[in-house]
Chain A
Amino acid sequence: MTDTREIELTVNGTERSIEVEPRRLLVHAIREDLDLTGTHIGCDTGNCGACTVLLDGEPIKSCLLFAAQADGSEVMTVEAMEDLPESDGLHPLQEGFHEEHGLQCGYCTPGMIMSGKALLDENPDPSEEEIREAISGNLCRCTGYQNIVKSIEYAAEELAAQPAADGGTVAVDGNDSTPPTEADTDAPDPFEGYEVADDGEFTCGAENCCGGPSTDAEHRGDNV
């Protein structure tokens, strides 16, 4: 099992090169090879979302992707939030979680914040229902979610109140971190080998599985 390959990732704005086995999960590469331990592991079935990071601007569960699949991609983890231009020390999302008591043990928090960021990038003024849907692939055992919803609402308000800088785009260390278009990236398709539904939603291929952070609720939501 020493068959490794070198992959290049832009992680939180910095280019990193690591040697990985093909089977190495992205979450382990992030945590153990890059020492970014804010991203957590809470399950072994793709349900909990504690490992959520942004891959080329999209929220993904990094336990459901091999590191090699992320070769050439841009990865953003919770550690980069403070460096975003809209952050004044802390990012409004981080501030929101603190102000609204949106965390307790803190274990789901990094993944929750990344799902919150993905939502607000797409939809700066989400309804409560849209927030709940967007974080329905992120399990929290401590808060009962109510204050997490408030935290994301707080961030949306804070961001809306900020003067739109740079035409509203967001940069990490000068790199544009908004989702790249086909034209401006030559990264290999991270979902190569996986089924991508027509609507662009990620499905991991396993029957009755998660479908990524934003669609998780569809097969879980009817339990109540």
Chain B
Amino acid sequence: MSSETDDVPVADTEYQHDEDGGPDPEKHHGHGRGGMGEEVKRKEDKRFITGRGNYVDDIKKPGMLHCEIVRSPHAHARIENIDTSRAMDVDGVVAVLTAEDLAAHELATMPTLMDDTQDVLVNDKVKFQSQEVAAVIATDRYIAKDGAEKVDVDYEVLDPVVTAEEALEADAPLIRDELEDQEDNHIFDWDVGDKEATDRVFEEADVTVEEQMEYQRLHPAPIETCGCVADWDPGKDKITVHLTSQAPHAHRTLFSQVSGIPEHKVRIVSPDIGGGFGNKVPIYPGYVVAAAASVVLEQPVKWMEERSENIQTTGFARDYDMTGELAATEDGIIKGVRTDVLANHGAYNAVAQPSKFPAGFFNIFTGSYDIEAAYGSLTAAFTNTAPGGVAYRCSFRVTEAVYLIERMVKVLAQELDMDPAEIRRRNFIQPEQFPYESPTGWNYDSGDYEKALDLALDMADYDHYREEQQRRIEEDADKLIGIGISSFTEVVGAGPGKSCDIAGIEMFDSADIRVNPTGNAVLRVGVQTQGQGHETTFAQIVAEELGMDVENISVEHGDTDTDPYGLGTYGSRSTPVAGAATAVAARKVRDKAKTIAANELEAAEEDIEWDRESGHFHVAGAPDRSITITEIAASAYMHHPSSEEPGLEAVNYYDPPEMTYPFGSYIVVVEIDRETGEVDFEKFVAVDDCGNRINPMVIEGQIHGGLAQGIGTAMMEHVTYDENGNCTGGDFMNYLLPTANEIPNFETGYTVTPSPHHPIGAKGVGESPTVGSPPAIVNAVVDAMAHAGTTHVEMR
């Protein structure tokens, strides 16, 4: 009896249903038990709608102290002196920590995920505005703030650089002068693809187009900011940190490595997290300071940042200046793509991504198209801005890649005076070409791009709006119509251990299922929801695989003492990796259950059949001789077969063989007022294909949220800096999130092209909408003005 790879169904574009291989997409209305494809209402809702969620700032511990961080008012300045004496005089202030105090514990700096070193607290030179300089620990958060105001820091202000372009100029001030051999602000160069072949294709092409575009700096801005409660227990020599963490296990390992506390004496707990969006993947100085303070003071210490601190100092997103080029034939066949990028990484290279991918998965920039040759190059620079880069539903720079290719296809369509839907159709990778090896080294699992585009065109009433657009131009109407398309391919589910690791740890994930004697079960997973509904959807996978009722399965996560090691939730990896682990672990349980069933039904194991529909095992040819998982669970504990151990549980650590490649076609119709420039969304259609769908209701919620963030991206959001390095877009007065008034109703559709390598044929989807929608929106805005010769409009 196999439980892993033999079980994986092999499919091209049609999902092959076999007895043990997984659910049949044709029967995705489910079996009424809350399995695959059912719109199960969320188990986690009740505590949130009644105010009983448990977020980090809700935690109160006896003797708990509060930490407030003293931050730099300057973007670039040498620290001449830090005087903490006035702060220490404030009644209720317990300690004021500086880099010197942390250095005594070797905690003044910490390693980043990209082989750089970031200051936890600074005592020599600040490198971005609001950087952490000192920390005040007090009995109350108000007193901590009072204390922070009384820490006196003398600065010698230096010239800052805030853009990558400025930073790489020959006479730019050197930001990282503490690094040996660092003579300028250059971090690394990276390239991918076949330069020579690409250059040749461009030389021989009928048509070439080029466009420069900026993907401006954004911030994920989850409504809950980052924070923690660190609690050192001197009796057990153990630290427990309740942390806003998307990756609690990886954080445990990093905490242990940074602090020197052995890993079995570090417990990280991610309680309920008020949104992550990639913001809660890195380790931030505040966490380290709170933990160090708790160890030193032997009391619990809470650190909870405010919104402005969150936007100004935690992981930003994007900030890629991109040049894109396409080479094509006169009839619109794309032959080559070339791109060159200038990347602003801030003051430290602290990008949260797999270690071998310095530009993330940006090399998926050939998109959904079968392109002969491609070449991309990138230069990354330090600037006097906060560190970050990978965050905000980017799937490791796929947002940037998709923006580039989808914008360029529109530019080419305009150059050739071709319909942008038609030009996509001519270049799509065809269903029979999958698995498709891209010119930049990806191995796309499955796709049927034209089907998704056709559905989107139909839903958007495309022909009607094209006519309407023409009519308005001819009548010189006050309001113009623009139609934007984006037919994107995502790459999610990092990832195969051979290429993907975080700080050396392979990017597998895990599931641990224990079925209790009374027939209900607890599933523990190595991923960490921040609202994506794992407590419901992962229970659905188990319900499907074991014929249980979804009600009878609890999903736990976030506690490194009890849950299996996993890499966490980001990059839409939960379904691809931990979802796979859950199915595989459930199938291990099912294998054992089958043995028990044979024993109970007094039949040979070969004669026992699993009936997914009824969720029973029965004797072949005698369906009434059947047994349920509840009965089997009781047997496992009360009269287990002598060939087996008692109990009924299984674990799987799943190393994915490949990434998953969900895709979609989005169509946005805008109406632009020629007088005011105001943009209204007339229609917003999103067709997504994430393979087999676990819970359509939850997917739809993910799409809505991601599209709203796409609108924020394209229309409102921008972390801005002035020439002095002041962050001028660093709070909710200036960093504008869309409200209910700016977001239209979305029309969502789907096709189902399962991932052939995934145990249940499912692909990730959470980030697709934010990856796919910004180019559709910008394409629509440009399209409205294309008749006047506009080829590009920046999002900022």
B-contact bits for A176-214, CB 8 A (1 contact / 0 none): 000000000000000000000000000000001100000
CB-based contact A140/B50 at 8 Å = no
**B716 neighbours in A (Cβ, 8 Å):** 223-224
Q: How far is the CB of A48 from chain B (nearest CB, A)?
A: 6
**A110 neighbours in B (Cβ, 8 Å):** 48-49, 51
**Does B615 make an interface contact (CB < 8 A)?**
no
Bound-state Cα–Cα, A105 to B274, Å: 5
- On whether A217 and B53 interact (CB within 8 A), knowing A21-B142, A47-B733, the answer reads no
CB-based contact A107/B55 at 8 Å = yes
**Does A16 make an interface contact (CB < 8 A)?**
no
Can you name the residue of chain A whose Cβ is closest to the Cβ of B533?
A104
Point out the residue from A24, A103, A132 that lies within 8 Å of B740, measured CB to CB: A132
A-contact bits for B720-750, CB 8 A (1 contact / 0 none): 0000000000011100111111110110000
**B533 neighbours in A (Cβ, 8 Å):** 104
CB-based contact A47/B51 at 8 Å = no
CB-based contact A223/B736 at 8 Å = yes
CB-based contact B222/A144 at 8 Å = no
Chain B, interface SS category: loop
Bound-state Cα–Cα, A39 to B703, Å: 27
**A78 neighbours in B (Cβ, 8 Å):** 49-51
Bound-state Cα–Cα, A208 to B48, Å: 32
Point out the residue from A28, A43, A220 that lies within 8 Å of B739, measured CB to CB: A220
CB-based contact A103/B48 at 8 Å = yes
CB-based contact A224/B711 at 8 Å = yes
Bound-state Cα–Cα, A208 to B25, Å: 52
**Does B467 make an interface contact (CB < 8 A)?**
no
CB-based contact A1/B143 at 8 Å = yes
CB-based contact B275/A144 at 8 Å = no
Bound-state Cα–Cα, A113 to B53, Å: 14
Q: How far is the CB of A216 from chain B (nearest CB, A)?
A: 7
**A147 neighbours in B (Cβ, 8 Å):** 700-701, 704
**Chain B stretch 678-731: residues in CB contact (< 8 A) with chain A:** 678-680, 697-698, 700-709, 711, 715-716, 731
Point out the residue from A47, A103, A141 that lies within 8 Å of B49, measured CB to CB: A103
Can you name the residue of chain A whose Cβ is closest to the Cβ of B46?
A98
**Chain A stretch 67-97: residues in CB contact (< 8 A) with chain B:** 77-79, 81-82, 90, 94, 97
CB-based contact A149/B678 at 8 Å = no
Q: How far is the CB of B216 from chain A (nearest CB, A)?
A: 15
Bound-state Cα–Cα, A221 to B736, Å: 10
CB-based contact A101/B308 at 8 Å = no
- On whether A144 and B274 interact (CB within 8 A), knowing A99-B41, A135-B740, A217-B739, the answer reads no
**B678 neighbours in A (Cβ, 8 Å):** 222, 224
Q: How many residues of B contact A (CB 8 A)?
A: 71
**Does A127 make an interface contact (CB < 8 A)?**
no
CB-based contact B91/A1 at 8 Å = yes
CB-based contact B55/A40 at 8 Å = yes
Can you name the residue of chain A whose Cβ is closest to the Cβ of B532?
A104
**Does A162 make an interface contact (CB < 8 A)?**
no
A-contact bits for B457-489, CB 8 A (1 contact / 0 none): 000000000000000000000000000000000
**Does A38 make an interface contact (CB < 8 A)?**
yes
- On whether A143 and B701 interact (CB within 8 A), knowing A90-B49, A105-B531, A220-B741, the answer reads yes
CB-based contact A106/B44 at 8 Å = yes
- On whether A146 and B733 interact (CB within 8 A), knowing A78-B50, A106-B48, the answer reads no
Point out the residue from A43, A132, A145, A217 that lies within 8 Å of B307, measured CB to CB: A43
Bound-state Cα–Cα, A48 to B534, Å: 26
**B733 neighbours in A (Cβ, 8 Å):** 45, 47, 208-209
Bound-state Cα–Cα, A112 to B19, Å: 46
Q: How far is the CB of B220 from chain A (nearest CB, A)?
A: 8
Bound-state Cα–Cα, A140 to B275, Å: 10
**Does B273 make an interface contact (CB < 8 A)?**
yes
**Does B42 make an interface contact (CB < 8 A)?**
yes
**A216 neighbours in B (Cβ, 8 Å):** 739
CB-based contact B45/A48 at 8 Å = no
**Does A156 make an interface contact (CB < 8 A)?**
no
Can you name the residue of chain B whose Cβ is closest to the Cβ of A39?
B51
**B224 neighbours in A (Cβ, 8 Å):** 40, 42, 105, 107
CB-based contact B223/A108 at 8 Å = yes
Bound-state Cα–Cα, A133 to B743, Å: 12
Can you name the residue of chain A whose Cβ is closest to the Cβ of B272?
A106
Bound-state Cα–Cα, A145 to B706, Å: 11
Can you name the residue of chain A whose Cβ is closest to the Cβ of B746?
A146
- On whether A146 and B739 interact (CB within 8 A), knowing A24-B142, A79-B50, the answer reads no
Point out the residue from A2, A105, A133, A217 that lies within 8 Å of B222, measured CB to CB: A105
**Does B57 make an interface contact (CB < 8 A)?**
yes
Pick the most buried of B679, B697, B738: most chain A CB atoms within 10 A of its CB: B738
**Does A120 make an interface contact (CB < 8 A)?**
no
Point out the residue from A137, A145, A209 that lies within 8 Å of B708, measured CB to CB: A145
**Chain B stretch 195-247: residues in CB contact (< 8 A) with chain A:** 221-225
Point out the residue from A81, A137, A139 that lies within 8 Å of B50, measured CB to CB: A81
Which residues of A are interface residues toward B (Cβ below 8 A)? 1-2, 21, 23-24, 28, 31-32, 35-45, 47-48, 50, 77-79, 81-82, 90, 94, 97-99, 101, 103-110, 113, 131-133, 135-149, 208-209, 216-217, 220-224
Known A-B contacts: A31-B57, A45-B733, A138-B740. Give 10 more (CB < 8 A): A45-B308, A47-B733, A94-B49, A101-B42, A106-B47, A107-B275, A131-B740, A139-B223, A144-B701, A224-B715
Question: What are 12 sample pairs from A and B whose C-beta atoms fall under 8 A apart?
Answer: A1-B143, A36-B51, A43-B731, A82-B50, A97-B45, A103-B48, A139-B732, A139-B737, A139-B739, A141-B221, A224-B715, A224-B738
